Amino acid sequence: MNKLTDKFIWKSLKEGDLNAFSVLFETYYPQLHSYGLKISKDVTITEDTLQDFFLYIYEKRENLSDLDNIAPYLFTSYKRFLLNVIKKNKKIKYLDFTTETINDIQFTKEELIIEQETESFRNKNITKLLNKLPKRQKEVIYLKYYSGLKAAEISEIMDINYQSVINTLHKAIKSLKEEISILKLFK
């Protein structure tokens, strides 16, 4: 969605327009679904919290502030919403989460697109390398290349400045590239 439609849809939602809300839902549900899965690693929790989250947005619509750009707001508040639920569930020992696994994005081998010349063993290693990156670098990589968000939007979501997003991304890609070329040497 471009900026103009974002602004228009958000305004219509605040006025209680259910059609605008359905457009918003259809646009962002798939992205938030993947994001939620990455954080919670549980389909039921992801889908239940998404229902509650969108219902919450609709009920609170009159109190929402004006927005030019919807994605950062949705990603940030959904993550907060989801983490609260996970923490609550943890207290009643419904799930066995450790603090480290919460919010730590893990990539799977299947998610990486294999280049023709890349052998499967190396692909497995790239996944390992990706998962070894610091938490924040992984999240920036996820938001940029998986959710397809713009760097400016990522900087809003992660509450860091734009230059840091670029630097974090570059650091991550660079270390991946270095590791990969070392792997090539030992092939």
Binding region for other proteins (CB under 8 A): 18-19, 22, 25-26, 29-30, 33-34, 37, 47, 50-51, 54-55, 58-59, 107, 110-113, 130, 141, 144-146, 151, 162, 166, 169-170, 173-174, 176-177
Question: Cβ 50 to other proteins, closest distance in Å?
Answer: 7
Question: Cβ 124 to other proteins, closest distance in Å?
Answer: 15
CA distances, 50 to each of 27, 32, 85, 119 (Å): 13, 8, 11, 38
Nearer to other proteins, 79 or 144 (CB): 144
Residue 55: other Cβ atoms inside 10 A: 10
Nearer to other proteins, 37 or 90 (CB): 37
DSSP letters, 145-157, are IIS---HHHHHHH
Nearer to other proteins, 33 or 90 (CB): 33
Q: Using an 8 Å Cβ cutoff, are 112 and 122 in contact?
A: no
- The token pair at 13 is 């939602």
